[in-house]
Structure 1
């Protein structure tokens, strides 16, 4: 009986995932070196309350908790290792938040209307299922906008598992924040943002959705539109 229970629990754990390792210039850094350690570092479980402060960076503790800052160039591709892989259907997105003057990526808590979306993927609608291009990925990445103003930023990755999203509170949020210093941009652009929590409601159509009956023919991701240079 114990062995059966252990296998069942293992199966549940393996259905969840984290984003522990930053990827830059083709190199994957050690877990939690440039990514703030998330509360689910062991359980891999999700956040399901969109009003919870953990919807922001899912931090285990306040502050950087020892995470360092990676220097990158605007326009470059930056990514995250997924542990073990994305295992649920749903959208992938990336957000940035620029630290205010006098703060660094390590001291910035991401509070306020500071988060702007730089990427979201889109699903394919079939007769049998809705599918996303992120399904099964063990690495995810995004090109930083080339026009960004130089400064310290938090880069937030978010994946929403929609397999149980047919009732409020069923959607599963997996996210993490990496600490960056971005320079070398072709401009000095800053963007208006949204607050996290605050940008999402449990009743948003991209969060409260039944993927199976009937199978949707359209989908609108939650949160703001993707910014452009």
Structure 2
């Protein structure tokens, strides 16, 4: 039995670097999935989850470098991210936007400061402790609507899937993160009244982040982060 367990551990060690984790590689704009990293910042690591919610890598992922382009989209239109492979860890999803400060562009700004607001989420479904299901399982893309009242200008859009399969321990949750670069046109004149910083939005101990999803089955689930701005 000990030999069998050791063999399994060795197999996991050998396989994990080869089987890359899923990554958000492309924007979906005007109904088209764009080329990988055309408008999405590329990380410097192949197996890409971030676990330290206080790290600078938590904004757009480790070593994320500016993409070559900025995608234009009309306010009120759908926009989204596509993955290089389907999500295979159970978890939850959040999408954020931040308006780029004056004097910078979506290709130059690092996303620092109290500037982010939530624009979308997918939440696990619970049944009073009887069951928990994860709508993000096998997801290959996610789209949300750019708020129609947003002012014109450059924005960063940020997607995160929080894998919860090992989240019972602190920093056990895995965050699969990417940032896209967009320019919004045809919008309004309203921005949210409150914002969050990323990093800073989570401390890692939230009930929806540090959680055992297996036993006992959670009777409810609390989505981490602010409410979706609408």
Q: What is the distance in 2 between the residues matched to 1:85 and 1:15? A: 11
The answer as to whether partners of 2:50 and 2:62 remain within 8 angstroms in 1 is no
2:134 to 127, 132, 135: 132
The equivalent of 1:47 in structure 2 is 50
Task: Give TM-score, length-normalised by structure 2.
Answer: 0.88
The answer to whether structure 1 residue 35 and structure 2 residue 36 are counterparts is: no
The answer as to whether partners of 1:14 and 1:84 remain within 8 angstroms in 2 is no
Q: CA deviation at 1:14?
A: 3.7
1:164–1:12 distance in 2 versus 1, CA, 3 Å: farther
Q: What is the distance in 2 between the residues matched to 1:59 and 1:8? A: 22
Q: What is the distance in 2 between the residues matched to 1:6 and 1:69? A: 42
The answer as to whether partners of 2:30 and 2:73 remain within 8 angstroms in 1 is no
| CA deviation string 1:90-112 (max 9, x = no partner) | 11111000011111111111000
| CA deviation string 1:84-130 (max 9, x = no partner) | 11111111111000011111111111000001001112222256642
Alignment of 1:1-229 (within 5 A): 9-10=14-15, 14=19, 16-40=21-45, 42-43=46-47, 45-61=48-64, 64=66, 66-126=67-127, 129-185=131-187, 187-191=188-192, 192-228=194-230
The answer as to whether partners of 2:126 and 2:221 remain within 8 angstroms in 1 is no
| CA deviation string 1:147-188 (max 9, x = no partner) | 111110000011000010011010000010000000112x21
SS at match of 2:91: coil
SS at match of 1:23: strand
Q: What is the distance in 1 between the residues matched to 2:89 and 2:18? A: 13
What is the aligned-residue RMSD (CA, Å)?
A: 2.0
Task: Give TM-score, length-normalised by structure 1.
Answer: 0.89
The answer as to whether partners of 2:117 and 2:196 remain within 8 angstroms in 1 is yes
Q: What is the distance in 1 between the residues matched to 2:57 and 2:218? A: 29
Q: What is the distance in 2 between the residues matched to 1:220 and 1:15? A: 29
Report the number of matched residues.
220
Q: What is the distance in 1 between the residues matched to 2:24 and 2:84? A: 6
1:74–1:217 distance in 2 versus 1, CA, 3 Å: same
Runs of 4 or more above 3 Å deviation:
4-15, 126-129
Q: What is the distance in 1 between the residues matched to 2:91 and 2:20? A: 14
Unpaired runs of 5+ residues, structure 2, are 1-8
Q: What is the distance in 1 between the residues matched to 2:12 and 2:210? A: 31
